[in-house]
Structures are given as structure tokens and as C-alpha cells.
């Protein structure tokens, strides 16, 4: 297991480019199960979760047909579902990647049968899938739980359109909306999803499905309408840039008092984030010559020398995203005053709190709320967290801290950020990756 060694206190300056979105790519890759035609995807990031999804799809008879010899480049994938005989997503893979649940809707819709291991809890909370199952049942699927597997069968004649309410205790569900929307694309008749997730990744999936011949309208709003079609065709689709990676880089610039230009930045998908950052004294402005496109902009990030405290509550899109909560907390640790963060999506998603405290942060948690009393400096320390975004927060803290920070178990980070250390180093960070053996020597 690799470790990052970070010497803090270097300003990040220069240009950094945002990759394609992990959370957009995963359900989009699963949608390749909906057709026997090739699905060409561009801008796919090279991440452990993407490779796990490729492995899972291959087991389900959906192969990558443009595999390069040697080290495969994942940035362009051609997926081809040419063997529909195996429809079992096994526990071995599902337990490594919860997004495996995205195969459920496409498998039932196209093959009439799916067996997908029930995902367990994870480091950020219980994470039930009841809304996914409720939505697919409303389309007529018969669903049972057998030996830890969700077993789903379409009724004779296939899935039927229906009106479905997908609201849950914490708002809607992103992957649940993706599952139901993908399945409804091939159902007979019209489906209306009420209280659908409005996240940009749902819009990206709808764009892909429509380009394959689906008839989906309203994606990005709480009501999505889907007129089912009998078949979907081939497609060539570019995955949207990763708004969470972009937000993480914006905060890396801010926490180091740097001056970064972030290219391929989906700025329109980050309005709640830039709103809170502006309040804290971080400025995110269109860079010179930026494309006039809110999904692929170039933005320049600068900030005041002294950051102001802010209050933030995580919410479904367009609210402040839970996936940028840990990174913002790291930043607010060095603001001048008391900030408040309330986590409304995953109320237990605070693995970074105790680790930031090891670096000298002053944090007081009460249930889903953390009060952050800013300190002048964080101090380097060995830390680790078993959640991807918590780990990203610790890397940011390390970039700002005085002295050396060791972020252990960076495989969590590798699930969501491609070659993060190389990209941060290129803009001035002192950050090295060492393996387990080297770490033992430190
Ligand atoms: C997606 O997870 C993302 N994952 C998560 O990103 C992200 O944190 C989350 O959406 C929220 O934005 C992927 O896209 C692969 P949800 P998802 O279903 O879809 C409750 C990261 O770090 N709920 O929208 O699984 C649930 O417990 C990851 O990149 C139910 O009650 O999240 C939560 O409180 C982590 N029943 C809320 O809804 C259900 O059936 C939102 O969860 C489903 C969810």
C-alpha cells in the first residue's frame, strides 16, 4: 500500500487539467449492456474503479474491443456487449466497487434477468439500495434477495413504463436515477421519474442514451420523462469533466495561497462550491482565452491571504456536494474564525475529522455538524482515511501544513484521482509516492 510524503508550504502555481468524470463514466460504461452495438467512450479516467468496472463488464459478456497491447490507455474505450449469457455481478467485484449496482437496470432491461450481489455498507455509511429496487419494481421487475444477491426478473413481455417517485430520506439517489432511467429507456411505454437526482452525471448519462436512440427529456430536473424504445444503437460519447476533481484542485490552489489555472473545468456544475469559496475569499474567474462553455472552461484561482470562515451544508445538486465536504473542511481549518459544516447526504462521512485533528486542526463534531475553529497553521503528521474524499482532504491539509505529512493507504485516493501526485508536483507541490517497503524505512 503506497504512501504520499508531502512537504507542506509550497504555493501551487501554473496550469492543471481536469480529467473525465469517474462518477459519470461508471454508469455510462454500465449502459453499454443495453445494446449489442459498440459504445465508444472518450475521456475515461484511468482509475481503479474504472478498471474494476471493465473487469465486471467483461464477466457480463461486455468486452473492451480496442485494448492496446502493453499498458492499456483507458482514455478511449470501445465496449461491445457480444455475449449475453452471463448476468451475475459477483460479490468479489461488487464489494470493491459499489457502482457495480449500475449494471442492475441495464441487465434486466436488455436481458430480462440480473443477479447482482447486494452492496454492503462502506466507510461513509450504510448506503442502502432500496430506492433502486423500488424504481425497478415499479417497472414490473420481480425482485428477490437470494444468498446475498439481488435477483431480478422482467415480467413476460419486458419492463413496462410507470410513474415512479425516487425521493428518499436524504433527497433523491444519483445511481438509483441512473439505474431506473437506463432500464426505462428499453421499457414499453412512458416512464416518469419524480424526485429524480439532478446531478450533472445524470444529464451526461441521458445525453449518451439519447445519442444511442433513447427518448429522454427533463434530465437535470426533478422530473425525467422517458419514452421507451425497442432497441438502442451505437454511440461515440465524450465523458464530462470531473466536477469533484476540479473542485479539489480549486481548493488545492486556495489552501496553498496559490495561483492556478484549471483547464477543462465544468464551472457551471460548481456554482454552489464557488459561491461558498467566494464567501471565504477564494476567487474563481474565467481565465484569459477560456472556451465560452460552462462545461469545459479554463478558470484562474487566486485568494485572499487570510481566509474567512463560512457555513456550508451538503445537499443534492445544485447544492454543495458531499464529495467536496472533506476538502473544504481542510481549507477552513486555516480560516480566520469559526466555520460550520453540516453533512446532509452521508451524516457519518467524517473519517477525516480525527485525522485533521492529528495535524493540529480544532474541530468539534456534534452529529452531522462539525464546527471548525481556524488555526494559523496545520502541522504535518502521519494520517490516513479509508474514504476517497477524506483522503483528498488530507492531501490538501498536507500541502498547507508546516513540515512533513505522510498520507497512508493512498489506494483510496487512486480510486478517484488519476496520478494526483504527478499532477500536483507539476504545479509546484512537494509530494512523493513511496511503496510499503520504503514507507517502513521512514
Ligand atoms: C453517488 O453515490 C456517487 N457515486 C457518490 O460519490 C456521491 O457521494 C453520491 O452519489 C452523492 O452525491 C457514484 O456516482 C459512483 P445516492 P450514490 O444514492 O448514487 C440515500 C465518491 O466519493 N439512499 O445519491 O450511491 C443514501 O444513503 C462517491 O465519488 C437511500 O436511502 O449515492 C444517501 O444518504 C462516494 N436509498 C443519499 O440517498 C437508496 O436506495 C444519496 O445517495 C439510495 C440512496
pLDDT in tens, 140-149: 999 999 999 9
Q: Are 186 and 227 in contact (CB under 8 A)?
A: no
Say if residue 281 is in the same domain as residue 224.
no
Instruction: Specify the pLDDT at position 305.
Output: 87
Q: Which of 345, 385, 414 to mutate to test the pocket of ligand 1 (most atoms within 8 A of CB)?
A: 345
Specify the CATH number for the domain of residue 389.
Answer: 3.65.10.10
To test the pocket of ligand 1, the residue of 168, 239, 328 to mutate (highest count of ligand atoms within 8 Å of its CB) is 168
pLDDT in tens, 57-69: 999 999 998 876 6
Residue nearest to atom 30 of ligand 1 (CA): 128
| pLDDT for 442 beyond 80 | no
Together in a domain, 312 and 382: yes
Q: How many CB atoms lie within 10 A of CB 56?
A: 24
Confidence at residue 233, expressed as pLDDT on a 0 to 100 scale: 98
Q: Distance between CA 106 and CA 141 in Å, rounded?
A: 12
Please indicate, yes or no, whether residues 168 and 316 belong to a single structural domain of this protein: no
Residues 63 and 133 in one domain: yes
Write the DSSP symbol of residue 28.
Answer: H
pLDDT at residue 171, as a whole number: 86
If you ran DSSP here, which 8-state letter would residue 99 be given?
Answer: G
Verify cis geometry, omega within 30 degrees of 0, for the bond prior to 153.
no
Average pLDDT over residues 245-259: 98
What per-residue confidence (pLDDT) applies to 104? 98
The protein residue whose alpha carbon is closest to atom 39 in ligand 1 is 129
* Residues 363, 377: Cα–Cα separation, whole Å: 14
Alpha-carbon distance 297 to 276, whole Å?
19
What's the CA-to-centroid distance between 173 and ligand 1, angstroms? 6
Same domain (yes/no): 8, 41? no
Which atom belonging to ligand 1 lies closest to the Cα atom of 387? 22
Task: State whether 147 and 54 are in the same domain.
Answer: yes
Which of 238, 259, 290 finishes a domain? 238
Same domain, 12 and 87: no
Residues 11 and 29 in one domain: no
Confidence class of residue 121 from pLDDT cuts 50, 70 and 90?
low
Residues catalogued as catalytic? 122
Confidence of residue 125 (pLDDT cuts 50, 70, 90): confident
Residues 249 and 154 in one domain: no
Domain end: 238, 272, 297, which one? Answer: 238
Predicted pLDDT of residue 69: 64
Q: Assess whether 271 and 389 both reside in one domain.
A: yes
**What's the gap in Å between 209 CA and the centre of ligand 1?**
21
Task: Give the residue, 122 or 32, on which the prediction is more confident.
Answer: 32
Average pLDDT of the residues in 181-199: 98
378-398 pLDDT tens trace: 999 999 988 999 999 999 999
Is the pTM of the predicted complex or chain greater than 0.95? Answer: yes
Distance (Å) from CA 174 to ligand 1 centroid: 6
| Residue 234 and residue 248 in one domain | no
Work out which ligand 1 atom sits closest to the CA atom of 388.
22
Count of domains forming the chain: 2
Q: Is 383 within 8 Å of 355 (Cβ atoms)? A: yes
Ligand 1 centroid vs 346 CA: distance in angstroms? 8
Same domain, 209 and 271: no
The best mutation among 121, 137, 174 to test binding of ligand 1, ranked by most ligand atoms within 8 Å of the C-beta, falls on 174
Q: Which of 205, 220, 238 is the last residue of a domain?
A: 238
Instruction: State which residues form the domain around 183.
Output: 22-238
**C-alpha distance across the termini of the chain, in Å:** 14
Q: What is the pLDDT of residue 277?
A: 98
Amino acid at each position: 500500500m503506497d504512501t504520499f510524503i508531502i512537504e507542506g508550504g509550497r504555493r501551487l502555481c501554473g496550469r492543471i487539467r481536469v480529467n473525465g468524470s469517474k462518477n459519470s463514466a461508471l454508469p455510462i460504461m454500465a449502459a453499454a449492456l443495453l445494446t449489442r452495438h459498440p459504445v465508444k467512450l472518450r475521456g475515461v479516467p484511468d482509475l481503479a474503479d474504472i478498471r474494476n468496472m471493465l473487469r465486471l463488464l467483461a464477466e457480463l459478456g461486455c468486452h473492451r474491443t480496442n485494448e492496446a497491447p502493453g499498458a492499456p490507455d483507458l482514455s478511449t474505450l470501445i465496449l461491445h456487449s457480444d455475449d449475453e449469457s452471463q448476468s451475475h455481478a459477483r460479490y468479489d467485484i461488487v464489494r470493491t466497487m459499489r457502482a457495480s449496482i449500475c449494471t442492475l437496470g441495464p441487465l434486466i432491461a436488455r436481458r430480462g434477468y440480473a443477479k447482482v450481489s447486494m452492496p454492503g455498507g462502506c466507510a461513509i455509511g450504510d448506503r442502502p439500495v432500496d430506492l433502486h429496487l423500488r424504481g425497478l419494481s415499479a417497472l414490473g421487475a420481480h425482485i428477490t434477495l437470494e444468498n446475498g444477491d439481488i435477483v431480478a426478473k422482467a415480467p413476460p413481455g419486458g419492463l413496462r413504463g410507470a410513474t415512479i417517485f425516487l425521493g428518499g430520506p436524504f433527497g433523491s439517489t444519483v445511481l438509483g436515477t441512473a439505474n431506473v432511467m437506463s432500464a426505462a429507456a428499453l421499457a414499453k411505454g412512458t416512464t416518469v421519474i419524480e424526485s429524480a437526482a439532478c446531478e450533472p452525471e445524470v444529464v451526461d448519462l441521458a445525453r449518451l442514451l439519447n445519442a444511442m436512440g433513447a427518448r429522454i427529456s427533463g434530465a437535470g430536473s426533478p422530473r425525467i420523462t422517458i419514452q421507451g424504445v425497442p432497441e438502442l444503437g451505437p454511440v461515440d460519447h465524450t465523458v464530462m469533466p470531473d466536477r469533484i476533481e476540479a473542485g479539489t484542485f480549486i481548493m488545492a490552489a486556495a489552501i496553498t495561497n496559490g495561483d492556478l489555472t484549471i483547464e477543462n473545468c465544468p464551472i457551471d456544475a460548481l456554482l454552489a462550491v464557488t459561491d461558498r469559496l467566494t464567501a471565504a475569499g477564494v476567487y474563481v474567474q474565467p481565465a484569459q482565452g477560456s472556451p465560452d462553455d460552462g462545461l469545459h472552461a479554463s478558470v484562474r484561482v487566486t485568494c485572499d491571504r487570510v481566509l474567512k470562515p463560512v457555513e456550508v451544508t451538503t445537499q443534492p445538486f445544485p447544492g454543495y456536494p458531499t464529495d467536496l465536504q472533506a476538502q473544504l473542511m481542510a481549507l477552513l481549518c486555516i480560516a480566520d474564525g469559526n466555520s460550520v459544516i453540516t453533512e446532509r447526504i452521508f451524516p457519518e462521512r467524517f473519517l477525516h475529522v480525527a485525522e485533521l485533528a492529528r495535524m493540529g486542526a480544532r474541530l468539534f463534531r456534534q452529529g452531522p455538524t462539525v464546527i471548525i475553529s481556524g488555526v494559523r497553521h496545520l502541522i504535518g503528521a502521519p494520517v490516513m482515511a479509508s474514504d476517497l474524499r477524506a483522503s483528498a482532504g488530507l492531501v490538501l491539509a498536507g500541502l498547507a501544513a508546516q513540515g512533513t505529512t505522510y498520507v497512508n493507504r493512498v489506494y483510496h485516493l487512486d480510486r478517484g484521482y488519476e496520478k494526483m501526485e504527478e499532477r500536483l508536483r507539476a504545479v509546484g507541490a512537494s509530494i512523493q509516492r513511496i511503496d510499503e517497503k520504503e514507507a517502513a524505512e521512514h
